[in-house]
Structure 1
Amino acid sequence: MSLAGRTVLVTRPAAQGAALATLLTAAGAQPLAFPLLDIVPQPDALAALPALAGAADWLVFVSPSAIDVAWPVLAELPPAARLACVGAPSAQRLAALAGRPVLHPSNGADSGALLAEPALAELAGQRVLIVRGIGGRAELAEGLAARGAAVEFAEVYRRVDAAPDWAAFDSAADAGTLAAACVTSAEIAERLFQLAGRSRQATLQSLLYSVPHARIAERLAQLGARYVVTTPAGDAALVDGLSEWFQRHP
């Protein structure tokens, strides 16, 4: 198996890495939980969320963390409210929780792809609630507002630096097993290189990275990473990307 014996960093927030780790293990890899960010819920925003959601025509969840943090306080949604997500894996999970369809991009997994969906082409007089973390990107809100929507935000969490296990990282690097990392946002990529310190930069630049978006690949290249595979969204695609690369480069 192409991943047998290879250590792969799972850099997602701790609550979101288990499924990916399971798939890596099944593929023969040795996943190393290595969260670079912690997700901290915002109590005031969560307290206000049910009322905001009750007045919305659309609820748009922009990340897995938005679903994880917000959904437990949304006991009931207005029957007419429509749901949307930026990526298909998040949309599938939200649909299972909500018991109703969730709009997501038919091609791509970012704000631009969601804005290309015909259902969002004309939003005059509609209220859209974007559920996200503090300080999210502006593209989606600006695009929706340009189509006539009244856009509000529920910024239900903030991101803080986590405390990844650098001793385990160094041990795997010294043993020669550290081979790859799955990185699911440009912010995580930046934190990885920032927190590593200068002594680990060469090791990070030599790893293979599996990422679900070209924007993440571009940021990693700027940070000096030499080997990056860009895959469709989803855990299985990330693992397949690693496996296929190592099959070609044993």
Structure 2
Amino acid sequence: MSDLKDLSVLLTRPEHQIEELRQLIQKAGGTPVCFSVTKIISMDGNHLLESLFRDNISKTDLAVFVSPNAVTFGIELLKKHALALPSDCKILAVGPGTAKLIERNRLKVHDYPKAQFNSEALLALPSLDQIEGKHVLIVRGLGGREKIARELSIRKAIVCQLPCYKRLPSKDLDTSVLDTFYREKKPAIVFTSVSAVDHFMLLNSAENLMSAPSLFVVVSSDRIAAHCSSLGFKGQVIVANNAGAPAILAALERVFVATSVNNGIKNHA
């Protein structure tokens, strides 16, 4: 593992999802700066959604959880209404972190992608090859990607979606952190969702960082990278293999090597 000395990393994930990466960066000698730009809140209370959920839960052949937050808030909704997935329902997760959280709730995970943890990798699972006429429940956040639902509908599955949480910009952040962060010796910022980028851009102090050519922007997908570039980030954008903390750390190690040795970096970690 590289020594990340002098590398300062702004972490933008929600507070409850930041700790593992913070510890890894600190252990590697870097300086993590926790700056959660997004708050996750439950969609519970939307009676139309809850009615849709109740009416479809017993028919579910396959349930897809698209994120750890989908597990947390989706299962919370199940418990609140004394509902359960059918015993023969197969459960898919978008990645190992989501799968682990499902299993902590004493549910069995049938399958999940092992390398890329995104919609494309999920859709490539054999479990989703022959699903014509199958009832599929997608547990997700409000405003997320529609790719899974759209593709499964093309495959003639009967799709029901449950948006069980939503992302809001955090309030009362100490933005003075941003006023000097771009002057750090080796500054980097991590984004693991498009909404995090958008919430960051709402801050008055974001422009200094966005326009700093010395800033490295580490993201978890090509989609987020394209979004950052379209908004005008001047620094190098590096795409990690996935959104997991180890993959983000690996991308940060590439940043460190690049700034320490030859100022050159590959676009993908």
CA distance in 2, matches of 1:13, 1:195: 16
Query: 1:151 offset after TM fit, Å?
Result: 0.7
Whether 1:166 aligns to 2:170 is no
CA distance in 2, matches of 1:105, 1:187: 23
Whether 1:237 aligns to 2:238 is no
CA distance in 2, matches of 1:248, 1:206: 12
Gaps of 5+ in 2: 261-269
Q: Which residue of 1 aligns with 2:227?
A: 219
Q: Which residue of 2 aligns with 1:97?
A: 105
Residue pair 1:172, 1:178 contacting (<8 A) in 2 also: no
Change (3 A) 1:204 1:183: farther
Match of 1:187 among 183, 195, 217: 195
Q: Which residue of 1 aligns with 2:237?
A: 228
Q: Which residue of 1 aligns with 2:65?
A: 61
Query: 1:127 offset after TM fit, Å?
Result: 0.9
CA distance in 2, matches of 1:220, 1:63: 22
Residue pair 2:44, 2:77 contacting (<8 A) in 1 also: no
Amino acid at match of 2:68: P
CA distance in 2, matches of 1:205, 1:115: 37
Whether 1:124 aligns to 2:125 is no
RMSD, aligned α-carbons: 2.4
CA distance in 1, matches of 2:192, 2:13: 7
Whether 1:246 aligns to 2:266 is no
Residue pair 2:182, 2:212 contacting (<8 A) in 1 also: no
Amino acid at match of 1:14: E
The 3-state SS of whatever aligns with 1:59 is strand
CA distance in 1, matches of 2:210, 2:116: 32
Structure whose residues are more often helix by fraction: 1
Q: TM-score, normalised by structure 2?
A: 0.82
Q: In the comparison of the two structures, how many residue pairs are matched?
A: 249
Gaps of 5+ in 1: none
- 1:189-248 deviation digits (Å, cap 9, x = unpaired): 232223245752555554212222111111112223331221222101101111122123
Q: Which residue of 2 aligns with 1:30?
A: 31
- Identity rate, percent: 29
